[in-house]
Chain A
Amino acid sequence: ETGVTQTPRHLVMGMTNKKSLKCEQHLGHNAMYWYKQSAKKPLELMFVYNFKEQTENNSVPSRFSPECPNSSHLFLHLHTLQPEDSALYLCASSQTRGGSGANVLTFGAGSRLTVL
C-alpha cells in the first residue's frame, strides 16, 4: 500500500448507528487531518493531529469523535449523525514544516457517507 488509504469508501448509516472511518498513511508523515467536503461548499477542516496529539478541533460537533493511536493511523468515530452530515470525508497527511513553511497535503480517496 502506498500513499493514504481510507476505508470504507462508501458508508450508509442510520441516525442511530455507530460507525467508524479509518485512515492509514504510508508516507512517514507526522500530521494527519480529517476534512469534510460537501456539495457547493469549500473543504472544511475538522481535526488535525501532529505526532498523534490533537492540535486542531475546528468546532466540530461531538457526534464526530476522532482517534489517532499513532502517526500512521487516524479514525473518525461516528454516532447519532444527522442527514446534513452526509458528505465526502477526506483524510490527509503532511510532513510538518516549521516557521512560514507550508504543509503540503496528501489526500486519501475519501469515504462517501450517507446518513438516512
Chain B
Amino acid sequence: QKEVEQNSGPLSVPEGAIASLNCTYSDRGSQSFFWYRQYSGKSPELIMFIYSNGDKEDGRFTAQLNKASQYVSLLIRDSQPSDSATYLCAVKDSGGSNYKLTFGKGTLLTVNP
C-alpha cells in the first residue's frame, strides 16, 4: 500500500513568518509531486508541482524535493492570513497508471495576524 505522510497539524505561524510543510512518501519510484491547497469548505486547488530534485520557486512558494530521502516540502515565505488552509501533498504512483495520485491527509496551516 503506497502511503503519503503529512503532519496533520495544526501548524500555527505568525504573519510574515516562513511556514514549512513536510511530506514523506513510500513509493520510491515516484517521479511527480504536487501540493494542493484546500480552504475550509472548498475544493483543492493546485499550488505547485515538482519533478526534479532540488527547489522550485513560484512567488512566495518554494517546493523542495529529495528523492533519495523520499521527502518533499513546501515553504511559504511572508505568510499571510489568507494562506490559512489545509495543504495536501500528492504523489503520482510509479506503476503503469498515468492517473493515480496518492494524497496525504493534509496539514492544517493557521497564519495568525
Binds A, one of B9-17, B70-78, B101-109: B101-109
Q: How many B residues touch A, CB cutoff 8 Å?
A: 25
Find out whether the CB atom of A102 lies under 8 angstroms from the CB atom of B4.
no
Tally the A-B contacts, defined by beta carbons under 8 Å.
63
Interface size class of A (residues with CB under 8 A): 20 to 34
Find out whether the CB atom of A100 lies under 8 angstroms from the CB atom of B100.
no
Chain B residues whose CB sits within 8 angstroms of the CB of A105 once the complex forms: 36, 44, 46, 101
Chain B residues whose CB sits within 8 angstroms of the CB of A40 once the complex forms: 105
Chain B residues whose CB sits within 8 angstroms of the CB of A90 once the complex forms: 43-44
Find out whether the CB atom of B42 lies under 8 angstroms from the CB atom of A55.
no
Main secondary structure of the interface of A (DSSP, over half): loop
Q: Which of A20-59 contact B (CB under 8 A)?
A: 31, 33, 40-43, 45, 48, 50, 55-56
Find out whether the CB atom of A43 lies under 8 angstroms from the CB atom of B44.
yes
Q: Which of B83-113 contact A (CB under 8 A)?
A: 88, 90, 92, 97-106
Chain B residues whose CB sits within 8 angstroms of the CB of A33 once the complex forms: 99
Cβ-based interface call for B61 (8 A):
no
